[in-house]
Structures are given as structure tokens and as C-alpha cells.
Amino acid sequence: MYVVTSEEMRKIDAYAIQKIGLPSLVLMENAGRGAAKAAVSGEQAEIRRWAVLVGKGNNGGDGVAASRHLMEWGFSPTIIYVDNPDSFQGEAAIQRDIAAAFGVPSVIYEEGEVNWADYDGIVDALLGTGSSGAPRKKYASLIIEANESVLPITAMDIPSGLDPDTGQVHTPCIQAERTAALAYTKRGLEQYPGLKQAGEVSICSIGIMADLASEHDVRTFRTDAAMLEKRFGIYHGEPAREADSNKGTYGHVLTAAGTRLMAGAGLMSATASLRIGAGLVTWAVPERVLDNVVGRQPEIMLTAFADEGTGDWSAVKASDVVNVIENKQAAVLGPGMGRWKKDRDWLEKIWKTSSCPLVIDADGLNILSETNFSLWKKRSAPVILTPHPGEMARLCGCSVKEVQQDRIGIARQFAEKNGVVVVLKGARTVTAAPDGSVSINTTGNPKMATGGAGDVLTGVIAGLLAQGFEAESAAVYGVYLHGLAGDEAAQKRSRSRAVAAGDIIDEL
């Protein structure tokens, strides 16, 4: 599913109007009818008396059209104009006149004068994709009153007060129960905290073909089964194995991760690679750690690096790692590895001299964040980085707050600049590819916020790489599957507060 910015929406809108010849009044009419239908569908069909809050732009025009459809279907709408509707222009003015002639009751808003007990539900058509900054003056007070009424609110396109492009929530902002997104979902509806304001989001078709987005170079997507198939040819749910295949067909993952006190990181990553279907998995540790990990998971092969008796990665030669990963189809580097004095040179050597696809996480990312690795020689093999917001902030040299305020923008910029795939973890994980494509994941749940879940993700992605998925699809599909497994684990343990990383592995 395509996810657009307000700017992209404006361009597609203009194209539909000017090049396809769809009159803008038709689009507004469709938007009004569609959103009205969304408001009164399902259990809200019983809501009779609607307050339709109308701003002075086209979002307001959509709201006026919606109120007329509600009236036509036997409901009782009242338009509450935030400002004098005499100032309306274009299509919104036409809708205003039709609604008046149709007999839709209307009032002009005065602070504190709306009797909310006269209504059972609210349509929010105050501000849409043309809004900027926090709602001002009467818009703000009307939003506050609407929220305080605790009536169920259906938002038109976006909840008023939400930044349509980043998902940041201004003060005040409509708290909707439903949002009818017009033509496409918007970035702000797909990222936190905005998505909490939007409630249940439905896409309302208004006469614009979905694929127009692709022609306008929209490269932000929501990951769902249809998108996986369309973009990557992945048929989710189909048996993935050919009858005449063998373990050699499904690749070999090398997991370079874990120390004595953090052995679990390597174990969980390697086990996840196994469960997601890698033909072979080898777990590599410093020699002195070997005895502690023998026999933990019998299907995983083990290898040990000379470590001068320390048990630390600091004593492991980069060239030894390169030798081991060279004939593998994917390698995981970083989880539970620790930091040491010359770790940057160490990682740079592996980066430059190996041609194995790399999945780098945890300490591996912390090493990278202290180098200017965009200056390192470009790799022919792909690199997938899997930072959480703190690691992303260190990689970009900004604050966690700045990362969270624009997750899509930050991940995309970093991926494009450095030629790597970035998986920015967190609720609605964002995967950005070097060509600027961004996929927003929808699977997963907060019970997965436990130590080790990230190690499992590295193993899933590496396991898919080993099976021949190219880097972006391995990352996007891996994130999707990891979340689905977490959802199943949460369902099975519905009375638990959390799922352990091992529970996620069990569901892969």
C-alpha cells in the first residue's frame, strides 16, 4: 500500500484533475460520500445526530459534502463552521451552497456555545493535508471542546492537529476513533504518535487510481501481503521449498556474535536463522567462549577464533573472520560483541576485504557510529544495519527525539547517503533502501519489547539473505515475519505481560 506526503498528494490530485480530467468537485463529492460512509459503518450505524466540524479549506469542503450525504441517508447532521463560510472559495464554496439549499442545518462556531449533548458523534473536517503547525485560535478551541465531549470522532483524511508528514501531534489534536484517509494513507497516519490519534484508519477511494502514486515516484509503502507480492514477488504463506532441493540450496549463515556473558545474543540470532530456513548455520565465537556454548543448539555448527586466551573479540583477528565468512551467503556481526580499542580498524577490514552480505547490529553499529564509514570503500555486497532509535541517533549524530520525530526521513536519508539498507526498529519499524524506498511494517506488538528480540531479527534477516532474497526484500520480509511471529507468540501467551525472544523464535 502506498503512503504519501501532503506534497505528493497535491501533485497526484493536480494530475487527476488536469491530466485525467476528473473535476475537483467530483473528487470532493467522492471524498464526502466515502468519509460519511466510513463514519456510519459497523457499530456506528446507530449514531444519529452528527456534529460536522468544518474548516475553511478543502478538508472543510469534504466535510460539508459528507454532511449532505448523512442527511440524505436519514441521519441528522449539523455543520459547525469554525469561521464565517462567506470566506469559502472554489469547490468548498459550491458545497456550502448545495448543503444550504439541501437544508443541512449549520451554525458558526462561538467558543463555549456548542451544546455537545445535542450530538451523538462528530465528523472532524477542520484541517487536512493543507494544515501547517499547531491549530490556531478558534480551530484550537473547537478541537479541545470536541475532545472533551468524549463523543466518537471520525476524522476526515487526518485528525486535525496532526502533522500529515511526520506523525507528530500538535497541541491540540483531534483524538479520533476512526480516520477515513482520502485516496491514500498519509505518512502521519502510519507512524507514532500520530497513529494513536487516528484510531482505526480506512482508505477511502475517491476516484484516483492507486497506481498513480507509483507514476509520481511515491516510494514509501506500508508492508502488507499485496505489497510484498507486487514489489518483491514474495507470495507470503506459500511453501517456500522446491521438492528437489537440499540444504545447499538454502545458503549458509555465519553468526559472529556473543561473548561469555552475552552468549545468548549469538545463540538467539543463529537459532532464528535456522528456524527461518537457512540451510546451514555456523556460530563463531572467541575460542575461550567455545566450551560455554557447546551443545546449546545441536543443529548449529560452531567455530572458534584464536583469542590469546581472553574470550574477547578484541583479540580476534579481522582476517580470521574474513576467512570464515568469505564462502558464506550472509553474516551477522555485532550482537554481544563488546567494544575495544581498535574496533574501528577491525570492522573496516572486514567491511573492505570480505564480499559476504553483512547484517550489522548492536556493538557493530556502535563501532560504525564512531567512524565516517561513508568514506570507506563501497562494498559490492550489501550491508543491512538494524539500529534501534538510540543507535540510529548515534549513527546520525542527532538526538533520539529528532530520530523519533521523523523516522521515515532519517532512515531514508541515511540509507541513501551511505548505500546501506537501514532497519530502524521500534513500533512500526521503518526499512529504508539505498534507492530511497521506505517500507513501514505493521506486524508486531509491544509485548516484543524485551531483550533478545533484536538478536532474533538479525538472524531472521540473515537467514533470508542466505536463501537468496536480495537485501531490501530480506530486510522488509524479515521484519514482517519477525513481527508476525511475535504476534502469534503474544496470542499464545495472551495472559503474559511480554513475550521472550525465545518465544518469537518458536513461532518463526
Ligand X SMILES: NC(=O)C1=CN([C@@H]2O[C@H](COP(=O)(O)OP(=O)(O)OC[C@H]3O[C@@H](n4cnc5c(N)ncnc54)[C@H](O)[C@@H]3O)[C@@H](O)[C@H]2O)[C@H](O)CC1
CB of 95 to K ion, least distance (A): 15
Those residues whose C-beta lies under 8 Å from the C-beta of residue 97, and which sit 6 or more positions away, are: none
The entry of K ion, ligand X, none near residue 124 (CB within 5 to 8 angstroms by kind) is: K ion
Strands 438-440 and 330-333: unpaired
The helix (H) or strand (E) run that includes residue 155 is strand 153-156
Query: Is 131 one of the annotated binding-site residues?
Result: yes
Cell 514489489 found at: 231
Rounded least distance, CB 133 to K ion, Å: 15
CB of 158 to ligand X, least distance (A): 7
Binding partner of residue 31 among ligand X, K ion, none, CB cut-off 5 to 8 Å per kind:
ligand X
Residue 139 site contact among K ion, ligand X, none (CB < 5 to 8 Å, cut-off depends on kind)? ligand X
Q: What is the dihedral of CA 163, 438, 507, 295, to 10 degrees?
A: -120
Least spacing, CB of residue 428 vs K ion, in Å: 21
Whether 315 has a binding-site annotation, put simply, is no
DSSP labels for 265-279? HHHHHHHHHHHTT-S
Q: Which does 455 bind (CB under 5 to 8 A by kind): ligand X, K ion, none?
A: none
The response to whether 128 counts as a known ligand-binding position is: yes
58 binds, among ligand X, K ion, none (CB under 5 to 8 A by kind): ligand X
Euclidean distance between CA atoms 508 and 503, whole angstroms = 9
Q: Is 149 annotated as a binding residue?
A: no
436 appears as a binding residue in the annotation: no
Q: 400, 390 in Cβ contact below 8 A?
A: yes
Tell the smallest beta-carbon distance from residue 91 to ligand X (Å).
7
Looking at the Cβ atoms of 124 and 363, the one nearer to K ion is 124
Give dist(CA 114, CA 221) in Å, integer. Answer: 40
Is 399 known to sit in a ligand binding site?
no
The residue among 173 and 362 lying less far from ligand X, judged by its C-beta, is 173
Minimum Å gap between C-beta 373 and K ion is: 43
User: In angstroms, what CA-CA distances link 62 with 26, 28, 173, 213, 476?
Assistant: 11, 5, 19, 21, 36
CB of 90 to ligand X, least distance (A): 9
160 binds, among K ion, ligand X, none (CB under 5 to 8 A by kind): K ion
Residues that bind K ion (CB under 5 A): 124, 155-156, 160
157 is in an annotated binding site: yes
- Rounded CA gap, 25 and 99, in Å? 14
Give 18 or 249: the residue with its C-beta nearer to ligand X: 18
Does the annotation list 320 as a binding residue?
Answer: no
Nearer to ligand X, 38 or 234 (CB): 38
Among 286, 283, 285, 274, smallest CA distance to 255 is for: 283
Beta-bridged to residue 121, according to DSSP, are 50
13 binds, among K ion, ligand X, none (CB under 5 to 8 A by kind): ligand X
Q: Is 338 known to sit in a ligand binding site?
A: no
Residue number, 5 or 418, with CB nearest to ligand X: 5
**Contacted entry of ligand X, K ion, none for residue 424, CB cut-off 5 to 8 Å set by kind:** none
Nearer to ligand X, 181 or 330 (CB): 181
Smallest gap from Cβ 127 to ligand X, in A, equals 5
Name residues whose C-beta falls within 8 Å of residue 444's C-beta, 6 or more positions apart in sequence: 427, 429, 482, 483, 484, 486, 487
Residues that bind ligand X (CB under 6 A): 9, 13, 27-28, 31, 55-62, 127-136, 139, 156-157, 182-183, 206, 208
Long-range CB contacts (within 8 A, 24+) of 41-44: 44/121, 44/152, 44/154, 44/178
Task: Please tell me whether 295 is known to bind a ligand.
Answer: no
Q: How far is CA 306 from CA 281, 314, 317, in A?
A: 20, 11, 8
Joined grid coordinates for residue 443? 506486524
Which secondary structure element, helix H or strand E, spans residue 254, and what is its range?
A: strand 252-256
Q: Which of 132, 129, 106, 112 is nearest to 53 (CA)?
A: 106
Q: Which does 444 bind (CB under 5 to 8 A by kind): K ion, ligand X, none?
A: none
CB of 131 to ligand X, least distance (A): 4
- Closer to K ion by Cβ: residue 6 or 429: 6
Burial label, 379 (beta-carbon count in 10 A; 0-12, 13-18, 19+):
middle
Q: Is 163 annotated as a binding residue?
A: no
Annotated binding site: 58-62, 124, 128-134, 139, 157, 160, 265, 336, 388, 425-429, 454-455
Annotated binding site for (6S)-NADPHX: 58-62, 128-134, 139, 157, 265, 336, 388, 455
